[in-house]
Amino acid sequence: MNGATRLVFATRNAHKLREVATILAETIGAVGDAIVGSDAVGGPEVTETGVTFDENALLKARALAQVSGLPAIADDSGLCVEVLGGAPGVFSARWAGGHGDDAANLALLLDQLRDVPADRRRAWFECAAVLVTPAGETWVETGRLTGTLAASPRGTGGFGYDPILVPDGERRTCAQLTPAEKNAISHRGRAFRSLAPRIAAALGRG
């Protein structure tokens, strides 16, 4: 794989961009402007028609690599609830209808689980992280964080469903953890740390 001066990340979420840059810095060194978001290269809006996290991440990365001519990384992630058969899953960001309305998604999910006892509220965050080169080379890594869902949101950190997932071995929700604590155990942290050697090689650092 030939090294590129930069990669593009298929996201317009500034929180996610910072989080992934921090995770990668732990493994391959500071990335600075070497990884930019979709907006920096006029990346397309991609409809997530996949039925798995892998499929959606690959759809986004392939489209971005084709448009930008640069290696592209992408991820797709969500919350999977055991008693809901793994839902919301790939529909996590639009569980309440509109895409990315965290408050509405949280409220709907908690209402659906209102009568579910604490010992039946098992859930996990899952993430698929991918790298796609303009030549079509593809790598996929996954990560998972298991825990139990709180009865109400707690904490102000993170985003998405972080305020309600209490990781195994913790009493705090993901939103109550420090960024460093969260990155050390998170689904996204695990997936991108596994993908980091490939990203380093794509940036000419491998």
Q: How far is it, in rounded angstroms, from Cα 75 to Cα 190?
A: 12
Closest CA to 78 of 97, 91, 63: 91
For residue 139, what are the domain limits?
Answer: 7-202
Give first-to-last CA distance, the chain, whole Å: 10
Paired tokens of 200: 């380093």
Decide if 1 is inside a domain.
no
Task: Given the residues 76, 102, 115, 168, select the one marked as catalytic.
Answer: 76
Decide if 182 is inside a domain.
yes
Decide if 2 is inside a domain.
no
Decide if 159 is inside a domain.
yes
Decide if 66 is inside a domain.
yes
pLDDT by residue for the chain (206 residues), tens only, comes to 555 678 999 998 888 888 898 999 888 888 878 899 999 888 888 988 999 999 999 999 999 999 999 999 999 999 999 999 999 999 999 999 877 789 999 999 999 999 999 999 999 999 999 999 999 999 999 999 999 999 999 999 888 999 999 999 999 999 999 989 999 999 999 999 999 999 999 988 76
Paired tokens of 174: 């993901």
- pTM for this predicted structure: 0.91
Decide if 108 is inside a domain.
yes
Domain count, the chain: 1
51-105 pLDDT, tens digit per residue, is 999 999 999 999 999 999 999 999 999 999 999 999 999 999 999 987 778 999 9
Active site residue 76: yes
Decide if 161 is inside a domain.
yes
The dihedral through the CA atoms of 169, 149, 92, 105 has a sign that is negative
